[in-house]
């Protein structure tokens, strides 16, 4: 960290490396402090204790959850002002989606927040289905599979949040338990979609393929292991006096502050407001499932941690209900309209996963029309009527919205995402002001930002 002062320094004490320059008097002196008591360093430098110090945390810093730059103004160890600098991970995903078909767009948006790929896919596809006017035609089994994948991803994302947050506070065991449990979930997701992350599994009209044989049994066998891992985290964290000391009343943000800044997710629910789109504006059939919205009243980092632990248990409740529904109700997983539906009869062959041999035989050997249609559907894509739609889902970090605009062509005219990490990062300034420098790490971890979703 490089404190910047507004006063020239006459001498350089031990533990301090001064960077000389011709414009020191005009622009201030930069010093790198490698250790020692801060008050003693101030005395040796001959600095005014009231003088402000500006510290850059990041963009390359292990505790900023990606390439996030925090500009901190300090008064000793107290943070007087915080500003977030973003844009270091700009991917151009939204712009690239304008040059791909509607179905190909899924492979782009799934990579934004790489910890919650299923939620970006779901929001985008639900928006496209609104434009197509086929929301009511989506098979129930496809919607149930979407819920299953989103809830598995929710647990996975929360485990990363708690694991990395614990590691940043020095609790390595929290990280190892969180990542170990997440591996169980990624194994299930890989079994179903073929990929651990960036799945491109949810598609306009349904999902890429049905659950493979034995998937439900594998899920039911793994749920006790996941529940055990969550229980270990609860024992390590919830009543830990060291953790309470680091998180209680740290990163405080009231309901008024959340409302003013448009904050959603666990940060908002830590103020006691039970706002969850799965309850307030259900989608994908969430109204059928029995689960509770977990809230807190502390408005601090500890409550956000406890809320995420509680939400994982609620996700397990939903997953158990969905697996029962999927086992009892077989059926199609893609909309019936062949002008929209990509083939969903996939199989693993010698060259990897692709269309099943039965489907290939049909379009290659018995129906020239089917072959031509398949070629045009894949290369050109389907047309979407002109218009615009907005669809929001409850991601692990808050409200994830997708605004899609069509000009009647085979590609989006515009696809814009309201990523919760982007909005929630506004809270960093309010959370950190007046706290200690070390509390900045805790406050940012409680927001749980992912820069892939911010710099999209």
User: Which residue do the tokens 């692709």 mark?
Assistant: 354
Q: Which residues contact 423 (CB under 8 A, 6 or more apart)?
A: 261, 262, 263, 264, 398
Q: How far apart are CA 381 and CA 104, in angstroms?
A: 9
In this prediction, residue 108 has a pLDDT band, given cuts at 50, 70 and 90, of: very high
pLDDT at 188: 93
Buried b (16+ CB within 10 A) or exposed e, 277-297: bbeeeebbebeebebebbbbe
Rounded to the nearest 5 degrees, what angle is found at the Cα of 322, between the Cα atoms of 320 and 327?
100
270 or 376: whose pLDDT is higher? Answer: 270
The yes-or-no verdict on residue 423 having pLDDT over 80 is yes
Helix ranges (DSSP H) in 238-272: 241-247, 255-261, 266-269
Q: How far apart are CA 339 and CA 132, in angstroms?
A: 11
In this prediction, residue 348 has a pLDDT band, given cuts at 50, 70 and 90, of: low
> Which of 33-47, 67-81, 182-196 is predicted with the least confidence, judged by mean pLDDT?
33-47
pLDDT at 346: 63
Structure tokens at 330: 């077989």
In this prediction, residue 33 has a pLDDT band, given cuts at 50, 70 and 90, of: low
Give the residue-averaged pLDDT of 167-191.
91
Structure tokens at 151: 């809830």
pLDDT at 41: 66
Rounded to the nearest 5 degrees, what angle is found at the Cα of 209, between the Cα atoms of 208 and 213?
155
Q: How far apart are CA 13 and CA 304, in angstroms?
A: 43
Domains and CATH numbers, the chain: 4-85 (no CATH), 93-337+383-454 (1.10.645.10), 341-381 (no CATH)
- pLDDT tens, 115-166? 999 999 999 999 999 999 999 999 999 999 999 999 999 999 999 999 988 8
pLDDT at 354: 63
Q: How far apart are CA 10 and CA 4, in angstroms?
A: 15
Structure tokens at 12: 């350089």
**3-class state of residue 353 by DSSP:** strand
DSSP letters spanning 394-419? EETTEEEEEEEEE-SSSS-SEEEEE-
Query: Do residues 121 and 402 lie in contact, with contact meaning Cβ atoms separated by under 8 Å?
Result: no
Give the residue-averaged pLDDT of 230-238.
92
pTM of the model: 0.84
What CA–CA distances, in Å, run from 452 to 63, 113, 144, 231?
15, 5, 27, 30
> Which of 84-98, 235-249, 354-368 is predicted with the least confidence, judged by mean pLDDT?
354-368
**Burial category of 76 from C-beta neighbours within 10 Å (exposed 0-12, middle 13-18, buried 19 and up):** middle
Give the residue-averaged pLDDT of 59-87.
83
Query: Do residues 433 and 253 lie in contact, with contact meaning Cβ atoms separated by under 8 Å?
Result: no
In this prediction, residue 314 has a pLDDT band, given cuts at 50, 70 and 90, of: very high
pLDDT at 400: 94
What CA–CA distances, in Å, run from 293 to 101, 367, 410?
37, 51, 39
Rounded to the nearest 5 degrees, what angle is found at the Cα of 332, between the Cα atoms of 331 and 338?
155
Length of the chain: 456
In this prediction, residue 170 has a pLDDT band, given cuts at 50, 70 and 90, of: confident
Calculated CA dihedral for residues 314, 315, 319, 321, nearest 10 degrees: 30
- Of the candidates 98, 99, 102, 118, which has an alpha carbon nearest to the alpha carbon of residue 110? 118
**Beta bridge partner(s), residue 395:** 398
pLDDT at 47: 62
Structure tokens at 296: 């807190």
Structure tokens at 172: 């390595």
The yes-or-no verdict on residue 68 having pLDDT over 60 is yes
Structure tokens at 210: 């049905």
pLDDT at 384: 92
């Amino acid at each position: 960290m490089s404190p910047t002062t507004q006063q020239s320094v006459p001498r350089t004490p031990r533990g301090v490396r001064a960077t000389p320059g011709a414009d020191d008097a005009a622009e201030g002196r930069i010093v790198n402090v490698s250790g020692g008591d801060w008050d003693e360093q101030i005395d040796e430098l001959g600095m005014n204790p009231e003088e402000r110090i500006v510290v850059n945390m990041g963009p390359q810093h292990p505790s900023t959850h990606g390439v996030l730059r925090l500009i901190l103004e300090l008064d000793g160890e107290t943070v007087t002002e915080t500003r977030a600098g973003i844009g270091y991970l700009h991917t151009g995903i939204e712009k690239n989606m304008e040059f791909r078909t509607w179905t190909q767009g899924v492979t782009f948006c799934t990579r934004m927040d790489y910890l919650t790929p299923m939620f970006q896919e779901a929001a985008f596809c639900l928006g496209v289905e609104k434009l197509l006017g086929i929301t009511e035609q989506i098979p129930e089994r496809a919607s149930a599979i979407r819920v299953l994948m989103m809830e598995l991803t929710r647990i996975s994302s929360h485990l990363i949040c708690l694991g990395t947050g614990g590691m940043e506070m020095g609790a390595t065991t929290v990280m190892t338990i969180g990542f170990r449990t997440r591996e169980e979930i990624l194994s299930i997701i890989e079994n179903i979609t073929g990929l651990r992350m960036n799945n491109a599994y949810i598609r306009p009209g349904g999902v890429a393929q049905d659950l493979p044989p034995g998937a439900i049994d594998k899920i039911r066998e793994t749920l006790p292991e996941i529940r055990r891992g969550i229980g270990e985290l609860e024992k390590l964290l919830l009543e830990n006096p060291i953790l309470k000391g680091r998180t209680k009343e740290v990163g405080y943000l009231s309901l008024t502050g959340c409302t003013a800044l448009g904050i959603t997710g666990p940060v908002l629910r830590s103020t006691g407001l039970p706002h969850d789109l799965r309850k307030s504006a259900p989608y994908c059939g969430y109204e059928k499932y029995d689960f509770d919205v977990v809230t807190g009243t502390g408005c601090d980092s500890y409550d956000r941690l406890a809320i995420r632990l509680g939400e994982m248990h609620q996700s397990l409740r939903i997953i158990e209900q969905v697996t029962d529904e999927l086992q009892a109700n077989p059926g199609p997983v893609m909309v019936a309209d062949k002008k929209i539906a990509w083939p969903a009869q996939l199989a693993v062959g010698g060259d990897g996963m692709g269309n099943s041999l039965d489907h290939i035989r049909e379009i290659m050997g018995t129906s020239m029309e089917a072959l031509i249609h398949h070629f045009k559907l894949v290369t050109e894509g389907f047309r979407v009527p002109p218009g615009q739609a907005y669809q929001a889902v409850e991601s692990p970090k808050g409200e994830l919205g997708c605004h899609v605009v069509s000009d009647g062509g085979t590609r989006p005219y515009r696809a814009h995402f309201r990523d919760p990490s982007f909005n929630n990062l506004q809270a960093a300034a309010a959370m950190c002001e007046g706290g200690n420098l070390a509390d900045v790490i805790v406050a940012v971890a409680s927001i749980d930002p992912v820069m892939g979703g911010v710099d999209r």
